[in-house]
Homo-oligomer: A and B are copies of this chain.
Amino acid sequence: MNSQAIADSLRQLHLNIVKKTEETDGVSFRLDHWTRAEGGGGTTAVLQNGNIIEKGGIAFSHVHGFMPNKVADGLKIPQQQFHATGVSLIQHPHNPFVPIIHMNVRYFEMEDGTWWFGGGIDLTPHYPELETVKMFHTEIKAICDQFHPNFYTEFKPWADDYFFIEHRKEMRGVGGIFFDRLNAQHGLSKEQLFEFCLAIGNYFADVYPRLMLANYQRPFNEINKNWQLIRRGRYVEFNLVYDKGTQFGLQTDGRVESILMSLPTYASWVYDHHPEQGSAEHKALAFFQKGNDWVNR
């Protein structure tokens, strides 16, 4: 299975995800195709002011050529020919009771034969409900278990650590899974690992429409909206300060609009904001801590 076959398959995944999200929202994504002078390109699908989604971005890219210096430095490897392909998405809904979601699967391959997969999916509800969080983690675990008994056990705490806003000492949401440099070390073939990535991608297209439809009509008040904007502010902090994909993109002169499509239409920062003890917002904070065993709660 070569990088072109993987890229072709991810391009199809991208189209499927766009289609499924459009069907649920009712408004179409705008598709921007771009090319990279040094080789390759991509398609950025963006939905602004949909019925359910306020701002959503679903990106496919397949870039190749001789590795930029900064990439080689970042990966601590010699400069050489490379292929990188992936699908990455973030959805920011209007209604504060619909969670933000992020999903990413990616493949990297080098001239010297090295290759790996990376990716993850994580949920950022502003009013987390145990039932939903448990459902999300249980379903992800079921997918992981189909491929390797250790995947969920390894990738769930990895997400706890990765989607963590260090300076706030809190996660951006309730996590999910995160993995990187996944290759033969688990005894699975490249084909099997790719199937795992596709299963994660397809899981987004299954779970998020359910979460959208279940919550987008829920009534909300000004407190709920302000809390959503503040939590989106934390999301912005994570993406701009910690997210490796964003940093990599900005440092390597990637297409800025594709990289920063992850930022919400509106976000807010309130000085020294602390939800009242016992409020729904205060209860939410307990969900944003590491190490919760959601599957067995």
B-contact 0/1 string along A245-260, CB 8 Å cutoff: 0000010010011011
- Copies of the protein in its oligomer: 2
Tell whether, in the assembled complex, residue B240 and residue A271 are in contact, meaning their CB atoms are under 8 Å apart.
no
**Docked complex: A45-90 residues within 8 A CB-CB of B:** 46, 48, 55, 57
> A107-115, A124-132, A216-224, A229-237: which one contacts chain B?
A229-237
Q: Is the CB of B265 within 8 A of A260?
A: no
- Whether B271 and A48, one on each chain, are in contact in the complex, defined by CB atoms closer than 8 angstroms, is yes
Q: Verify A250–B57 contact, CB threshold 8 A.
A: no
With A46-B271, A48-B270 known as contacts, the answer to whether A168 contacts B263 (CB < 8 A) is no
Inter-chain contacts of A271 with B (CB < 8 A): 46, 48, 55, 57, 257, 261
A259, B271: Cα distance in complex, Å: 10
Knowing A250-B167, A250-B241, A256-B167 are in contact, say whether A233-B269 is a contact too (CB < 8 A): no
Q: Tell whether A265 pairs with B268 under 8 Å between CB atoms, given A167-B250, A241-B250.
A: yes
Establish whether residues B32 and A272, one from each chain, have CB atoms under 8 Å apart when the complex forms.
yes
Q: Which residues of the partner chain B approach A267 to less than 8 Å between Cβ atoms?
A: 236, 266-269
Q: For the complex, what is the distance from the CA of A105 to the CA of B229, rounded to whole Å? A: 32
- Size of chain A's interface in residues, with CB distance under 8 A? 31
Contact A257 B272 (CB under 8 A): yes
Return the chain B residue nearest A273 by Cβ. Answer: B257
Which residues of B are found within 8 Å of A265, using beta-carbon distances?
A: 268-270
Residue A157 interfacial (CB < 8 Å): no
Q: Does A264 contact B (CB under 8 A)?
A: yes
CB of A168 within 8 A of CB of B256, answer yes
Q: Which residues of B contact A259 (CB under 8 A)?
A: 167
Q: Which of B46, B167, B250, B266 contacts A266 (CB 8 A)?
A: B266
Bound CA span A257–B281, Å? 19
Please list 25 pairs of residues, one from A and one from B, whose beta carbons are closer than 8 Å in the complex, sorted by A's number. Answer: A32-B272, A48-B270, A48-B271, A55-B269, A55-B271, A166-B250, A167-B250, A167-B253, A167-B256, A168-B256, A233-B263, A237-B240, A237-B260, A241-B241, A241-B250, A257-B272, A263-B269, A264-B269, A265-B268, A265-B269, A265-B270, A266-B266, A266-B267, A267-B267, A267-B268
Distance, CA A119 to CA B48, complexed state (A): 40
Near B by CB (< 8 A), chain A positions 92-109 give: none
Minimum distance in angstroms from A60 CB to a CB of chain B: 16
CB atoms of B269 and A229 under 8 A apart: no
A55 to B271, CA, bound (A): 9
Residues of B contacting A237 in the complex (Cβ-Cβ under 8 angstroms): 240, 260
Give the distance in Å from the alpha carbon of A261 to the alpha carbon of B237 in the complex. 13
